[in-house]
Amino acid sequence: MKSSIYKGTKKHNTYLYIENEDDFSRVPDKLMSVLGELSHVMTIELSLEKKLAQADVTRVISQLQENGFYLQIPLESEKLSLSGMKVKSNPIPSL
């Protein structure tokens, strides 16, 4: 599964994964406004065999299929308030 990754101008180290490049139709308007202007970072091939540096690839694929997007927030953040919406991060457990 391919995914295009974007970063916003308003939230440092926060990345938005979507299924199709420049197709933000399934991303909530509130989230788009919180992120600010988006710039394309890269397009990657997601696979269960390939690990991602800051996210669980299984969760990313699942969220893309269910919601049409995945929001990767900084590991040091507990939550990101989205004008009344709350998104919890999934910190990587320490080894």
Structural domains of the chain, with CATH: 2-88 (3.10.510.20)
pLDDT at 87 over 50: yes
Q: Which residues of 62-83 are buried (b: 16+ CB within 10 A; e: fewer)?
A: ebbeeebbbbbbeeeeeebebe
Mean pLDDT of the chain: 85
CA dist., res. 87 & res. 33, Å (int)? 15
pLDDT at 92 over 90: no
Tell me, yes or no, if the pTM score tops 0.85. no
**Tokens linked to 12:** 């440092």
> pLDDT per residue over 20-65, tens digit each?
999 999 999 999 999 999 999 999 999 999 998 889 999 999 999 9
